[in-house]
Amino acid sequence: MKRSAIKAKLARNEPVLLTQLHLTDPSIYELTSLMGFDGIWMDLEHHTYSMETATNLMRATRVGHSDIVARAAKGEFMRLSRLLEAGAQGIMYPRCDDAAEAADVVKWSKFAPMGKRGFDGGNPDMPYTTMPVEEYIKLANEQTFIVIQLEEEDAIKNAQAIAEVPGVDIIFLGPGDFSVLSGIPGQFEHQSVTKATEMVGRAARKAGKLWGTPAFSPQHARQLLDMGARFICYTADIVIVKQGLDHIQEQFAPLGFSFNNRLNNNNHS
């Protein structure tokens, strides 16, 4: 069974850096993993690809170093064990409201006695029935981790109780949805987001757990690390590709090349 790179670093109080991949070419997952990123955020809450596709992307990731942190949608408890069986090291659970819901995430993600995850063993995580059952269950509980996302004001108020749930490893502020639900969409420097970030960090410290959130720049990441965050996510493949294409156009436009760029103008018809 693959041991978690993220859990090993966090156990040494080292920061971990993840990036988000939206595109579904396995080569991108393989490249990112071979380059040694700590983790890849795989989002099955917002994207439409199947579990079969997700499994193949995880298979490509195993060539290298990275952990897969897979996010299902709110309430998709049955999907959590399937993602772990397919090879995810971490579960990211969105829109968690309270400690009871966090406890349900643990129940579906961990084997007894920590939870009630169902046993199969015939999948990549064991892998393929090649380990003694007792050893596999022990390692699975030790090497997988749970990230609970807090994305609205009431959840932030419950942050410490959520962090204190046994089996929850990390609490994670989702600033995108938090800003939308707070009526300040995209205003990530708003005092409400700053306050929520501070509350999540304080709750994690009091509960003896770790916390994280996306960083919007290296400078922002430095601020988060100084606040005690250790689980940092930064950018995504579609953003990196877009920035690269923008750079090409900026370099070649002065040479007389022109581009019918439908994304960099105000005409959205």
DSSP 8-class letter at 255: G
pLDDT at residue 264, as a whole number: 77
Determine the Cα–Cα distance for residues 149 and 171; give it in Å rounded to an integer. Answer: 6
| Structural contact between residues 82 and 109, judged by C-beta atoms closer than 8 angstroms | no
Count of CB atoms situated within 10 Å of the CB of 265: 8
The encoded tokens of residue 87 equal 């090879």
Q: For 225-260, what is each residue's pLDDT tens digit? A: 999 999 999 999 999 999 999 999 999 999 999 999
Number of domains the chain contains: 1
Whether pLDDT at 268 is above 80: no
Q: Which residues of 173-197 are buried (b: 16+ CB within 10 A; e: fewer)?
A: bbbebbbebbeeeeebebebbeebb
Structural domain contains residue 267:
no
Chain position carrying tokens 């022990």: 138
Structural domain contains residue 260:
no
Whether pLDDT at 265 is above 90: no
Structural domain contains residue 264:
no
Q: What are phi and psi of 30, to 5 degrees?
A: -65, -45
pLDDT at residue 267, as a whole number: 41
The encoded tokens of residue 252 equal 């070649």
Q: For 190-229, what is each residue's pLDDT tens digit? A: 999 999 999 999 999 999 999 999 999 999 999 999 999 9
Structural domain contains residue 269:
no
Structural domain contains residue 268:
no
> Residue 44's closest CA among 53, 34, 32, 33?
53
Structural domain contains residue 134:
yes
Chain position carrying tokens 């996302």: 149
The boundaries of the domain holding residue 211 are 5-255
- Cis bond upstream, residue 113 (ω within 30): yes
| Structural contact between residues 171 and 204, judged by C-beta atoms closer than 8 angstroms | yes
Q: What's the CATH number where 110 sits?
A: 3.20.20.60
Mean pLDDT throughout 131-155? 97
Amino acid making up residue 70: A
Q: Residue 8, exposed/middle/buried by CB under 10 A (0-12, 13-18, 19+)? A: middle
> Residue 87's closest CA among 100, 68, 72?
68
Mean pLDDT throughout 40-64? 97
pLDDT at residue 147, as a whole number: 98
Q: Which residues of 89-107 are buried (b: 16+ CB within 10 A; e: fewer)?
A: bbbbbbbbeebebbebbbb
- Cis bond upstream, residue 127 (ω within 30): yes
Structural domain contains residue 140:
yes
Determine the Cα–Cα distance for residues 236 and 124; give it in Å rounded to an integer. Answer: 26
| Structural contact between residues 96 and 155, judged by C-beta atoms closer than 8 angstroms | yes
pLDDT band at 269 (very low <50, low <70, confident <90, very high): very low
Q: What are phi and psi of 214, to 5 degrees?
A: -65, 145
Give the global pTM: 0.95
DSSP 8-class letter at 253: G
